[in-house]
Structure 1
Amino acid sequence: MNYEVFQWINDLAGRFPFLDKGMIFITNSVPYVVIVFMLFLWFTGNKEKREEKQYTAMYIVFTCLLGLALNAILHFVYYHPRPFVTHHVHQLVPHAVDSSFVSDHAVLVFSVACTLLLRKDSWKYPVLVWAIIVGISRIFVGVHYPADVIGGALLSLGASIVVMQFSKKLEPIVQVLFNIYKKLTKHIPVLAKFSH
């Protein structure tokens, strides 16, 4: 089933140049989009909403770090070959021949989406749709199976639940980070106004 769904999506690659370019752009732009979105959360909104958005940004960082750390351990103890290693596929982007399960990209984007969902942020549904599209793009370009993406989503959901459950214990760390930001930006008025 995993390979059949992979084939169904990956077989679309190479047929429509505009679709190929779009999927390559989506899959390659993930780190940059995440950074831009984090800055958006940090610097937008009125003063009342800003603190809530900045906390959300902090929780996203914690969730990403936890999810990626767990995935690194998983990759260390379990190796699953990527689709292009064991099958003839339409591979549109270069990739190392490391473990396929689970997808780091999926962990990253679903960490953002799951945190927003748990925080009931207004961007939760658009970001969830984006995360799903990114997951599909990883299959489309030939570097992940559907199970890798689903596994990444579930790992991110678990990580975000853990972070939210322990949010009170994380509060001292959050305050330290807020204070570091305040000290770094106190002489830059345009940035200082976004501190607590």
Structure 2
Amino acid sequence: MKRSIFFVYLVFLVVSNLSAQNWDVNTVHQINSWDGKFIRNYNKVISRSEPYVAVGVPVAMAVAAWIRHDKDLLKDAVYVGTSVAGAFVVTYGMKYLVDRERPYDKYPDRIHPYSRESSPSFPSGHTATAFALATSLSVKYPKWYVIAPSALWACSVGVSRMNEGVHYPSDVLAGAAIGAGCAVLNIYVNRWLNKWLFGD
């Protein structure tokens, strides 16, 4: 875990160097400027859908498993749920460790806040949990009709956070890496968890 946090922080430092060359700021400024009615409404809905989808999917899986008495589905629900929870814990820990200012606070003349957040900017928690959900679902159900919509939704969440003006591209990229990484790492954690919970 310490190595993972160090790696993500190293990525942040490298991307921060790019940010000094205005890549980060110019990119978020461009995406924040997408102002068509459909694009703005789509991004608003996608951004706000993230907590409900990220929590709702594993909960729905667990409820369905309980109703059907389906042990395998319950294991999948635990894996997906703990992947999302792990990404949430890592990102919110890192937010306060790095303490990066939101783009709309640092560049009020260039970035318009279509929503506001109380936590620091780096990394994107919405993107991390979205990618944790998408990756864990794709691992458990490796079918195109699961992978394609999951990936589209997770990527849309990342873009929507920039369109809303609340994250830099580097926040989103780091969030995506953390979310996907937590889901992959959790494959091994869940082997131990399944033994403890289910005796397998």
Q: Please report the TM-score for the alignment, with normalisation by the length of structure 1.
A: 0.77
1:91 pairs with 2:110: no
1:145 pairs with 2:168: yes
**How far is the alpha carbon of 1:40 from its aligned partner?**
4.6
Residue-by-residue CA offset, 1:69-116 (whole Å, 9 max, x unaligned): 1222212221111110111312111322x3111011011111101112
Q: Which ranges of structure 2 fall in alignment gaps of 5 or more residues?
A: 1-22
Mapping for residues 38-77 of structure 1, pairs under 5 Å: 38-42=58-62, 43=64, 51-77=71-97
2:154 paired residue among 123, 131, 145: 131
- Which residue of the partner structure matches residue 6 of structure 1? 28
SS, match of residue 60 in structure 1:
helix
Bigger Cα displacement from structure 2, 25-34 vs 103-112: 25-34
CA contact (8 A) 1:58 1:174 kept: no
SS, match of residue 170 in structure 2:
helix
1:29 pairs with 2:52: no
The total of aligned residue pairs comes to: 171
**Matched residue type, 2:157:** V
How many Å separate the matches in 1 of 2:116 and 2:96?
Answer: 21
SS, match of residue 102 in structure 1:
coil
How many Å separate the matches in 1 of 2:71 and 2:82?
Answer: 17
Higher helix proportion: 2
- Which residue of the partner structure matches residue 192 of structure 2? 169
CA contact (8 A) 2:162 2:169 kept: yes
How many Å separate the matches in 2 of 1:166 and 1:79?
Answer: 29
Residue-by-residue CA offset, 1:108-155 (whole Å, 9 max, x unaligned): 111101112222443122111100001100000100111111101111
- Are residues 37 and 64 of structure 1, via their aligned partners in 2, closer, same or farther at CA, if it must alter by over 3 Å? closer
How many Å separate the matches in 2 of 1:66 and 1:141?
Answer: 25
1:115 pairs with 2:146: no
Q: Which ranges of structure 1 fall in alignment gaps of 5 or more residues?
A: 177-196
- Which residue of the partner structure matches residue 98 of structure 2? 78
Q: Please report the TM-score for the alignment, with normalisation by the length of structure 2.
A: 0.75
- Are residues 174 and 8 of structure 1, via their aligned partners in 2, closer, same or farther at CA, if it must alter by over 3 Å? farther
